[in-house]
Amino acid sequence: MEISGRVAIVTGAGAGIGAALSRRLVAEGARVVLADLDLDGAARVAESLGAAAVAVGGDVADERVIRGLIDRAEAEFGPVDLYFANAGIGGGAGLDSTDAQWAAALEVNVLAHVRAARLLVPGWLARGGGYFVSTASAAGLLTQLGSAPYAVSKHAAVGFAEWLSVTYGDNGIRVSCVCPMGVDTQLLQSGLVPPEHAAEAELAVKAVKTAGAVLSPEQVAEIVVAGVEAERFLILPHPEVLKMYSHKGTDYDRWLDGMRRFQAALRG
């Protein structure tokens, strides 16, 4: 995949990984529509990138908003080549997570991807190609201590990316799934769990920060773009995740026992 000259949409682009991805894509010669619930944030990033970027506000789990992003991209730059489903949220804590918290995590972390693919794939099939990039999480391959909705929704995001690749990979549609551990973003700093669940919020953040290095969004963006250029399905900004995932698959019970010990140690 050659990035230069491509048209991309990046969701969650007002800050963090999405903003860094947008900057890197423009630097590589792409033209980008930046989408975020925080229009002001997306607009600030877009303005810094000049004529190669425009910002659109809205909830990217809403199919009407996604359709508007595609229409705006086509009107400004041409047909969409790459879609970075990067927007994500945390969720509730454990079994006391409300139905609303579960629904929000599934809407943003999974169904937003499904709805975007539903709108884009038919056109990509007709044109002979397209690229879907899902930002999941290492939690989608391993798990997330302290937050059931986050862990489950990120597993689902990985599962959907796998299905998309298997189903359409022979038709010119490429898929990448990004699974980082700790990244220095507002999501990590504010906690993956609502502050009213103080113990679980602390556990979730400690688990991420203890497992490996906390990367900058710019470091992650560089790795993601390199992975897309190589058309690699699994993009791991933290390479050690592959070793952890391998251990999990080799002996699931031993891995679960190890995670329980890790959780106990973090709880002190």
243 domain-assigned: yes
Residue 204 is predicted with a pLDDT of 87
268 domain-assigned: no
The number of distinct structural domains making up the chain is 1
47 domain-assigned: yes
Cα–Cα distance measured from residue 245 to residue 37, given in angstroms and rounded to the nearest whole number: 33
Residue 151 is predicted with a pLDDT of 97
1 domain-assigned: no
Residue 191 is predicted with a pLDDT of 66
2 domain-assigned: no
Domain that holds residue 81: 7-263
Q: Residue 238 corresponds to which tokens in the numbers above?
A: 């933290």
What beta strand segments (E) does 204-267 contain? Answer: 234-235
CA triplet 181, 13, 141: central angle to 5 degrees?
A: 25
CA triplet 72, 35, 229: central angle to 5 degrees?
A: 90
Residue 159 is predicted with a pLDDT of 98
**CATH number of the domain to which 25 belongs:** 3.40.50.720
Active site positions, annotated: 150
81 domain-assigned: yes
Residue 74 is predicted with a pLDDT of 98
Residues of the chain where predicted confidence (pLDDT) is lower than 70 = 191
Residue 95 is predicted with a pLDDT of 93
Please answer whether residues 26 and 52 qualify as being in contact, where contact means their C-beta atoms are separated by less than 8 angstroms.
yes
